[in-house]
């Protein structure tokens, strides 16, 4: 043990001189409750939060009613046996649980998962909707850690796939990648998908996950009326300066595709796992709200 520790210190000292350091890879639930009473309380709290949201939201139609707390328990046990627990990129437990619950509630015919990475989101969606046709897209599938049986993995950009020949009544797109949200929303609308879910939808004052500007605009930018045409957003990341210019006309045009919008509830309180919850959008013509109502709700 002392040899391993000393080796680690020596490596860390060298990396520190280069501006890096070794850190232990933490996994979700490496530390977790085991006492039945308190574990039950955690499941009950998550179940109540999820049930209340599902019963009150107006973004999508519920086609399947089920015992939410029981499903939370089942998903938790299944998640513990997956390779997706490492807190390095990808979705974590809270967001993956939401994918399972939404898929189980809607029971869509077709699901698109754009941004496979290790496969966590595709796996979670397949847990909730095992009978759906699920397509998981990534331009590089070498990081895939687990293949779900009912998922078709495609090594290409989702927009180059022909969905015209795939019949569907109810459909979901998940975009968990480092690309322009507006472009993806437009692509989903053009292909007549009904619901779009986005990761990393940070507000303009939050500089995370901009990826040199290729991840802009975020969905939040579309409805942010404080962004004026031609203004420049500037930031620095790892010593490199970046900028992005606001095209108000494009943002307004993209906003018309939003029929309803919501942020999924944050489960950090009962779980202690921090990750920005997904943004969920009913694409226009598939939602009861107008874009003005969506903007008003977004501003609250």
pLDDT tens track for 246-277: 999 999 999 999 999 999 999 988 888 888 89
What is the rounded average pLDDT of the residues 286-291? 52
Helix axes 248-255, 181-190, angle to 10 degrees: 40
Residue range 42-60, pLDDT digits in tens:
999 999 999 999 999 999 9
Given a cut of 60, whether residue 288 has pLDDT beyond it is no
Given a cut of 80, whether residue 286 has pLDDT beyond it is no
Given a cut of 90, whether residue 290 has pLDDT beyond it is no
pLDDT of residue 60: 95
Sheet containing 133-137, strands listed edge to edge, beginning at the edge strand earlier in sequence: 151-154, 133-137, 110-114, 171-175, 195-198, 279-283, 258-263
> Which of these CATH numbers, 3.40.50.2000, 3.40.190.10, 3.40.50.150, 3.40.630.30, describes 33-299?
3.40.50.150
93 pLDDT band, cuts 50/70/90, is very high
pLDDT of residue 300: 43
Given a cut of 70, whether residue 144 has pLDDT beyond it is yes
In whole numbers, what is the pLDDT of the chain averaged over residues? 89
What is the rounded average pLDDT of the residues 191-203? 95
Query: Any idea where the domains of the chain sit in the sequence?
Result: 33-299
What is the rounded average pLDDT of the residues 103-121? 96
């Amino acid at each position: 043990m002392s040899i391993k520790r000393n080796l680690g210190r020596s490596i860390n000292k060298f990396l520190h001189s280069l501006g890096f350091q070794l850190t232990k890879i933490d996994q979700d639930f490496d530390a977790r409750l085991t006492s039945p009473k308190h574990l039950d309380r955690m499941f009950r709290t998550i179940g109540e939060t999820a049930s209340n949201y599902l019963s009150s939201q107006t973004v999508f139609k519920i086609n399947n009613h089920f015992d939410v707390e029981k499903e939370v328990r089942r998903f938790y046990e299944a998640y513990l046996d997956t390779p997706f627990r490492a807190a390095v990129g990808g979705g974590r437990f809270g967001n993956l649980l939401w994918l399972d619950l939404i898929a189980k509630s809607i029971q869509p015919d077709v699901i698109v998962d754009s941004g496979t990475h290790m496969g966590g989101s595709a796996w979670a969606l397949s847990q909730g909707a095992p009978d759906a046709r699920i397509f998981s897209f990534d331009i590089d599938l070498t990081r895939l850690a687990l293949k779900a049986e009912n998922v078709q993995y495609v090594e290409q950009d989702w927009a180059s796939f022909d969905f015209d020949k795939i019949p569907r009544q109810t459909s979901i797109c998940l975009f968990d990648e480092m690309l322009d949200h507006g472009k993806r929303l437009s692509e989903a609308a053009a292909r007549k998908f009904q619901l779009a879910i986005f990761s990393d939808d940070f507000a303009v004052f939050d500089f995370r996950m901009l990826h040199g500007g290729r991840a802009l605009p975020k969905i939040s930018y579309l409805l942010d009326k404080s962004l004026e045409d031609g203004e420049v957003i500037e930031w620095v990341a790892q010593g490199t300066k970046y900028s992005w210019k606001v095209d108000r006309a494009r943002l307004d045009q993209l906003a018309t595709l939003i029929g309803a919008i919501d942020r999924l509830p944050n489960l950090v309180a009962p779980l202690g796992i921090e990750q920005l919850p997904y943004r969920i959008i009913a694409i226009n013509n598939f939602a009861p709200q107008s874009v003005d109502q969506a903007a008003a709700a977004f501003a609250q």
